[in-house]
Amino acid sequence: GEDVEQSLFLSVREGDSSVINCTYTDSSSTYLYWYKQEPGAGLQLLTYIFSNMDMKQDQRLTVLLNKKDKHLSLRIADTQTGDSAIYFCAESITGANNLFFGTGTRLTVIP
Amino acid sequence: EPEVTQTPSHQVTQMGQEVILRCVPISNHLYFYWYRQILGQKVEFLVSFYNNEISEKSEIFDDRFSVERPDGSNFTLKIRSTKLEDSAMYFCATSRDRGSYNEQFFGPGTRLTVL
């Protein structure tokens, strides 16, 4: 079955770049997503990438997709304390409307 | 900005009891989903719902689970005969479209604790 893996924790200093990594197993992925969850809030879509792309940039966020290795990453430039949250990697696959998620990575930004 | 809301934020119940988790979708959304996350594990899909019927469901969604939209606005998840292993955070999500790309909007979740 579909399997999405992420590391559980990441700590960075304010102003540094954060890189959150994700691997997946299903080669029929169509879109890959990054969701952010702040305390007490729902999962908020941050960005997504179509599986035919290898990079997408949106302000401080850069998404890299290595389809051969089934590896997705989210880079946050100039990380701020407000970026502290849980970041979920998710994929959608051909023939299914639900999303497949990882465990989430808790990003802690140290002032 | 419109958002998905869920009630209650935390529900504690005794094993064997029934619980109902409620979700208010974004008003022009037609597709509804329930996911859950057991502490420390992945967010898992439970069920999707469209046009008053279940579209897809996972193996987790057994006979004890049911969903409905009783009044055309609330979308509910009912769990009968709750078990200890039902303890999890339950997320409702809604989307306007379906297909390869569909942005799903998530509620803040209901934390269910079964004692």
Q: Say which of B98, B103, B109 has its CB closest to residue A42.
A: B109
Res A22 pLDDT > 60: yes
The answer to whether B103 contacts A45, with C-beta atoms less than 8 Å apart, is yes
Res B97 pLDDT > 70: yes
Specify burial of residue B60 (Cβ count, 10 A radius: 0-12, 13-18, 19+).
Answer: middle
Q: How confident is the model at residue A1 (pLDDT cuts 50, 70, 90)?
A: low
User: Cβ neighbours of residue B17 under 8 Å, at least 6 residues apart?
Assistant: B81, B82
pLDDT tens track for A78-92: 999 999 999 999 998
Three-state DSSP class for residue B12 = strand
CB count in 10 Å sphere of residue B99 = 11
Res B105 pLDDT > 60: yes
Q: How confident is the model at residue B100 (pLDDT cuts 50, 70, 90)?
A: low
Interfacial residues of B (vs A; Cβ cutoff 8 Å) = 3-4, 31, 33, 35, 37, 40-45, 48, 55-56, 58, 91, 93, 98-109
Which residue in A has a C-alpha nearest to residue B111's C-alpha?
A40
The answer to whether A100 contacts B45, with C-beta atoms less than 8 Å apart, is yes
Whole-number pLDDT of residue A11: 97
Residue reference for tokens 């949106």: A58
Whole-number pLDDT of residue A36: 95
Q: How far, in whole angstroms, is CA A98 from its chain's centroid? A: 17
Res B88 pLDDT > 90: yes
pLDDT tens track for A40-99: 788 899 999 998 899 999 999 999 999 999 999 999 999 999 999 999 999 988 777 789
Res B112 pLDDT > 60: yes
Tell me what the mean pLDDT of segment B75-97 comes to.
95
Tell me the DSSP string of A48-72: EEETT-SEEEETTEEEEEETTTTEE
